[in-house]
Structure 1
Amino acid sequence: MFDKNDFKVFEDMTLPGRLGLIRANLDPKFEEIGVELMQRLETEYQQQFFMKIAKHQRRTQNPPPDTWLAINQDKRGYKKTPHVELGLWPDRYFITFSLLADIKNRPGYYPILKEYQDTIITEGWSVSNDHTSSEMVPASDIDKVIARYEKVKSSDLVIGYELKADDPIVQKGNYDQLLMDKFMQLSKLMVIFNKLQVES
């Protein structure tokens, strides 16, 4: 399904051109893998999940710098809830678990983050305070990332995995299973954070 040619959509520097390539070449792949991920999640957790594929409808001039699918556990929308995304920047695939700046009941997640920060380090994820940037830092810096998330209202909390376009895995092909496995692994955090927030 996914292959190294996916990144060619970003070579078109026009808004209509890139949107057309995303809709033709990437959205069908997101739809296919998203349905499979939803089935796996609902089988594993016996809970309901919801999927959204980015449509970039608010863009009027500049082409989107990235594109993605998101899965969460609230049918009203994913941005104000813990969610997991699978997407592409021009130079990498990304799979991220995010608590965005304007998430509902934000302070309730601070103690949960601290409780699970050792797990995040042990599992070798990368972390960030900005979901609009592709750059992430090693999980060993998670203390600083959590501290910023607590103090700076505009900051996000992002935990994730990236697979660079020039990685031998991508050049060789056949890595759908790797992406799905990473997505499922990160989804554990989504389910845990949703559950603990409801209980707190």
Structure 2
Amino acid sequence: MFDKNDFKVFNDDTLSGRLELIKRDLDPKFEVLGQDLLQALEDEYHQKFFLKIAKHQRRTKNPPPDTWLAINQDKKGYKKTPHLEFGLWPDRYFITFSLLADIRDRVNYYPILEKYQDKIISEGWGVSNDHTSSVLKNAAEFGDVIKHYQKVKSSDLVVGFELLKDDPIVSSADYDQLLKDKFMKLSKYLVLFNEEVAK
């Protein structure tokens, strides 16, 4: 389903043009993948999950620098809750688990992050304090990322995986299962964090 042509949507530098390409070329793939992931998540965890595909409706001038689908466990919206995303920057696919700056009950997640810090590092996920940047740091820096998130209110907490556009596997056009597997592996943190914060 996914292939290197996905990135062509970013070749159009106009707002209307890029939005139309995203709607035509990527959103149908997001819908198929999103429904597959919802089913896999509900089969795995026997809990309810909700899908949102970015529509970029607030943009009036600049084209979106990335586009994505998001999955969480709160039907009211995902941005103020722990959530998973799958999407594209112009040079890479990304799969992330995020706690954004304005997440509800933010301080309640600090001890949970510390509890799972070693596990996240050992699994080698990329980490970041900025969900608006495509760059993920090495897992070894996760301790510093957690400290920054605890001290700087405007910062995010991002854990994830990226597959670069020029990676040989992208040229092979046979990586749908890899993306699904990474998403499902990362999904355990969505469930664990929601369960921990509810205690």
Structure 1 length-normalised TM: 0.99
Aligned position for 2:149:
149
> What amino acid sits opposite 2:27 in the alignment?
D
Distance (Å, rounded) in 2 between the aligned partners of 1:139 and 1:105:
25
Q: Secondary structure at the match of 2:79?
A: coil
Q: How many Å apart are 1:45 and its aligned residue? A: 0.5
> What amino acid sits opposite 2:125 in the alignment?
W
Aligned position for 1:118:
118
Residues 1:85 and 2:99 are matched in the alignment:
no
> What amino acid sits opposite 1:147 in the alignment?
K
* 1:35-80 Cα distance to aligned partner (Å, 9 max, x none): 0000000011010000000000000000000000000000000000
* 1:145-174 Cα distance to aligned partner (Å, 9 max, x none): 000000000000000000000000001111
Q: How many Å apart are 1:7 and its aligned residue? A: 0.2
Aligned position for 2:128:
128
Aligned position for 2:159:
159
Q: Secondary structure at the match of 2:198?
A: helix
Q: How many Å apart are 1:136 and its aligned residue? A: 1.1
Aligned position for 2:35:
35
Distance (Å, rounded) in 1 between the aligned partners of 2:134 and 2:80:
20
Aligned position for 1:188:
188
Q: Which runs of 4+ in 1 moved over 3 A?
A: none
Aligned position for 2:104:
104
Aligned position for 1:20:
20
Structure 2, gaps ≥5 residues long? none
* 1:61-111 Cα distance to aligned partner (Å, 9 max, x none): 000000000000000000000000000000000000000000000001000
Q: How many Å apart are 1:192 and its aligned residue? A: 0.1
Q: Secondary structure at the match of 1:145?
A: helix
Distance (Å, rounded) in 1 between the aligned partners of 2:77 and 2:186:
19
Q: Secondary structure at the match of 1:76?
A: coil
Q: Secondary structure at the match of 1:181?
A: helix
Provide the alpha-carbon RMSD of the alignment. 0.4
Distance (Å, rounded) in 1 between the aligned partners of 2:47 and 2:182:
19
Distance (Å, rounded) in 2 between the aligned partners of 1:173 and 1:26:
15
Q: Secondary structure at the match of 2:20?
A: helix
Distance (Å, rounded) in 2 between the aligned partners of 1:9 and 1:48:
32
